[in-house]
Amino acid sequence: MVSLKIIVPCYDEEKTLDIFYNEISTALNNLNNIHWSVLFINDGSKDNTLQIIKNLSINYENIEYLSFSRNFGKESAIYAGLENSTEDYVLIMDADLQDPPHLIPEMLKNASMGYDIVSTRRVSRKGEPIVRSFFARVFNKLINLLSDVEIVDGARDYKLITAEVKDSVLGLKEYNRFSKGIFQWIGFKNKWIEYENIERSAGETSWSFWSLFKYSISGIISFTTAPLHVSTIIGILFAIISFILIVIIVIKTLLFGDPVDGWPSTISIILFVGGIQLFAIGILGQYISKIYLEVKNRPHYIIKEKNIDNK
């Protein structure tokens, strides 16, 4: 008998939770030798999500929940879920059925064959806004170019991990969490399962373009310091070029005098260099703001209500 905990971050998911529970029950109930339970993490939903989770937990005994005092974000919800799991296996899954439950048996099979992490990736993005797919691809290319961890295109947070992997992930206590990077960074034996994109069962995505943009920047900043080096290199390059130019100008003035032209080019160079300086300072600022949040050492989340008491 193996035990499995399914961690489900929920933000405004009142429309999806009943269907979700039915679907995973169907997928799991005809499996032998498995004892499974679900841990819903209500991430400060504004709708009736908590009430629906409570109703479910009254009807079914394998349901646990944590409810945050406000919206802390999906990454914090995943962290809370991992901290409150003691099972042999942990499965991270979205509430909206975009992570197909029919893959669970295959994931468990791979885990029993010795894989520590069984991850999933979408091979298509059909049904997703084109602009969003485009920027998602650009982001992937950028982070793979700049950092040591490799982010697989279409990779989901939907994954099955062993207790050992879970402990390793919890060992990375950073405040700015980027799961896709973290799961790559820790290593272990990883198996990928592929599937076609599925649209949300109900409700709406809670990610705006802006929130995804901020999350992407934060992902890059969390896993690479390359941008800091880029600004150093550009700075050195400009110092060298301007030094050469100054030497040329001095020689030219000595030889030919100083006719008053070249004003536009001077201004444009000043603006250009100024722009680059601001860019470099901006990058510095990004890192410093992350360091600021890390040193404050705040908790990842605050629990207001729950029906479990291991932590």
Q: How far is the CB of 73 from Mg ion (least distance, A)?
A: 14
Instruction: Kindly tell me which residue out of 57, 71, 201, 231 binds ligand UDP, with binding defined by CB under 6 A.
Output: 71
Q: How far is the CB of 6 from ligand UDP (least distance, A)?
A: 12
Q: Which residues of 110-147 are buried (b: 16+ CB within 10 A; e: fewer)?
A: bbeeebbbbbbebeebeeeeeeebeebeebbebbeeeb
**Helix segments in 224-262, DSSP class H:** 226-256
Q: What is the 3-state secondary structure (H, E, C) of 85-96?
A: CCCCEEEECCCC
State the Cα–Cα distance between residues 255 and 55, nearest whole angstrom: 89
* Strands of 165-278, DSSP E: 190-195
Q: Which does 223 bind (CB under 5 to 8 A by kind): Mg ion, ligand UDP, none?
A: none
Beta bridge partners of 120: 193
Q: Which of 275, 129, 292, 141 is nearest to 204 (CA)?
A: 129
> By the 8 A CB rule, do 66 and 306 touch?
yes
Show contacts with ligand UDP in window 39-58 (CB under 6 A).
43
Show contacts with ligand UDP in window 189-228 (CB under 6 A).
205-207
Instruction: Kindly tell me which residue out of 14, 73, 108, 140 binds ligand UDP, with binding defined by CB under 6 A.
Output: 73
Instruction: Kindly tell me which residue out of 4, 5, 6, 9 binds ligand UDP, with binding defined by CB under 6 A.
Output: 9
Query: Judged by CB under 6 A, does residue 108 bind ligand UDP?
Result: no
Site string for ligand UDP, 155-194 (x = CB under 6 A): ----------------------------------------
Phi and psi, residue 117, nearest 5°: -130, 125
Q: Which range, of 47-55, 98-106, 127-135, 283-291, touches Mg ion by CB under 5 A?
A: 98-106
Q: How far is the CB of 57 from ligand UDP (least distance, A)?
A: 17
State the Cα–Cα distance between residues 36 and 29, nearest whole angstrom: 9
Q: How far is the CB of 229 from Mg ion (least distance, A)?
A: 35
Q: Which residues bind ligand UDP (CB under 6 A)?
A: 9-11, 13, 43, 71, 73-74, 77, 94-96, 98, 205-207
Q: Which residues bind Mg ion (CB under 5 A)?
A: 96, 98
